[in-house]
Amino acid sequence: MRVPRLLWALGCERGIHSLRGKLTLANVVLLALGIVAATVVSVMGMRYYLLDQIDTELTKTRDSLGGSQLTLREIDSLSVLGFVRDRLAPQTLEEQPRPDSIFAAVDSGGEPVGILGFQPTDVQRDLADAVDDPRTLIEDPEPHDVTVQGADYRVTGTRLADGTQILLATSSEGLHTGVAKAVKFDLAIGTLLLALLACLTMFSVRRRMRPLEDMVETSSAIAEGDLTRRVPSSREATLEVEQLRLALNSMLHQVESAYRTRERSAAQLRRFVADASHELRTPLSAIRGYLQLYDKGMLSDPDERKRAWERVLAETDRMGRLVDELLTLARLDQQPELRFRNVDISRLVRDAAEDLRVQQPDRPITVDADGSLLVHADESGLRQVLGNLMGNVRTHTPADAPVRLGVERADGVVRLCVADKGPGLGPQDAARVFDRFFRAGGGAGSGLGLAIVQGVVRAHGGEVSVRTAPGEGLAVTVTLPGRAAVRS
């Protein structure tokens, strides 16, 4: 599964928690606020305009009636037809339509009075009841809102020449109905606009965020180990995204370089520490063995003491060279050149066997290295090979397990064989025996002994092989080129 698709699915699942969702939500919220504000302003303006028309008509009627200096008796004739119509119409509120305008006369106590002998209608009584104080209404130049029989009216008042108080009311139901329809229409249009904006925003943000998804895909690939990946350029990238891409690629290049350098340094440090501990163990063990023999008085013969002292000096010198070489490797990060010369490999084999006898006196050791066999090689490297092989025998076999050391020249090559009668290895372990840091069964040692043997042998142009089976021990054969090899 590609990373962008996975991120798209995650973004859909997270909803508004994703950047795409947040941008879309922000645009929708802003548009919603704008629509609400525009709707409120337009509705308030429309309401104010319609209400002003109603109030203007009421005010004109009030001013005309109040300025005419008419009495209630004089205006009775103007209302006869209206009162007759109200009396002849059905009296049930359910069937009687609400009048758009109401004209009522009240006395000084606020009670409705009849006109032309007709008693006040229910609507006129309700209007008089809705108005608490007609005098306050007459003195206020602005009409008031009242509710008559469940309907909204705008009402004002005036006083006739004979002191009669007149209440004039006009229905505002049409105003409220128009405002409600306008609000519904605005909400419907606003909802459609919000849905359209959400779709357009999602599409636009997805297209604009494609370079960011490429960056996430590249980062994921790098996190999985592909440090060579870089963020590709995009035809739709904005200036800021392109600057981010260039900065990210520059940072990734620096990270890759730093990571490679760190890996090389860490690997070199591990090899240095392991090689140092492994290589210094063998000469230190030999020196300790000779010193213990001397301390216990077991070197009574002067020749034996001299030989032991020479071996201690030789091992000390070798250890010093090893330390110098390891320090040089740590400083220069390269292997020192091998110092090739004619070396008596038979003598090296006998020395290794003698060292092993000193370290493990109870181990049966067989040596087949009589005489002298010269080979063109680096003596320190060959001692390192033998020391590692002996260390492998000491570490991984019982102290009483027999071991055989032999060297021979055949078919133009020199073969050095170290075979023990230890537990041996299985096929899988045998296939990895030369791997660095491999230890069969998690045993002792650093796991570098045979790897170092293989490295030194290959540096000499030779090869190394093993022959083993469970319960049959381990035989390591080192094959060196027979160039300048002389048997005597």
Judged by average pLDDT, the poorest of 208-217, 290-299, 425-434 is 208-217
Q: In 10 A of CB 73, how many CB atoms?
A: 12
pTM over cut 0.85: no
Give the single-character DSSP code of 391: H
pLDDT confidence of residue 417: 94
Q: At what angle do helices 239-295 and 379-396 cross, to 10 degrees?
A: 80
| Residue 48, burial from CB neighbour count under 10 angstroms (0-12, 13-18, 19+) | exposed
The residue-averaged pLDDT of 440-466 equals 75
Identify the three-state secondary structure at position 190: helix
Identify the three-state secondary structure at position 165: strand
In 3D space, the residue among 340, 227, 357, 353 whose CA is nearest the CA of residue 298 turns out to be 357
The residue-averaged pLDDT of 466-482 equals 90
Q: State how far the Cα of 77 lies from the Cα of 116, in Å rounded to an integer.
A: 8
Does residue 75 carry a pLDDT above 90?
Answer: no
pLDDT confidence of residue 249: 82
The residue-averaged pLDDT of 344-349 equals 93
Give the residues across from 30 on adjacent strands: none
In 3D space, the residue among 84, 215, 59 whose CA is nearest the CA of residue 144 turns out to be 59
Q: In 10 A of CB 159, how many CB atoms?
A: 15
pLDDT confidence of residue 148: 83
Does residue 64 carry a pLDDT above 70?
Answer: yes
pLDDT tens profile 175-202: 888 888 888 888 888 889 888 888 888 7
Number of H helices, E strands in the chain: 13, 12
In 3D space, the residue among 330, 315, 312, 313 whose CA is nearest the CA of residue 276 turns out to be 330
Identify the three-state secondary structure at position 487: strand
Give the residues across from 404 on adjacent strands: 366, 419
Does residue 475 carry a pLDDT above 90?
Answer: yes
pLDDT tens profile 90-144: 444 444 566 778 877 777 667 777 665 667 777 878 777 778 777 777 777 888 8
pLDDT tens profile 231-254: 777 666 667 777 877 888 888 888
pLDDT confidence of residue 395: 83
Does residue 152 carry a pLDDT above 50?
Answer: yes
Q: In 10 A of CB 217, how many CB atoms?
A: 18
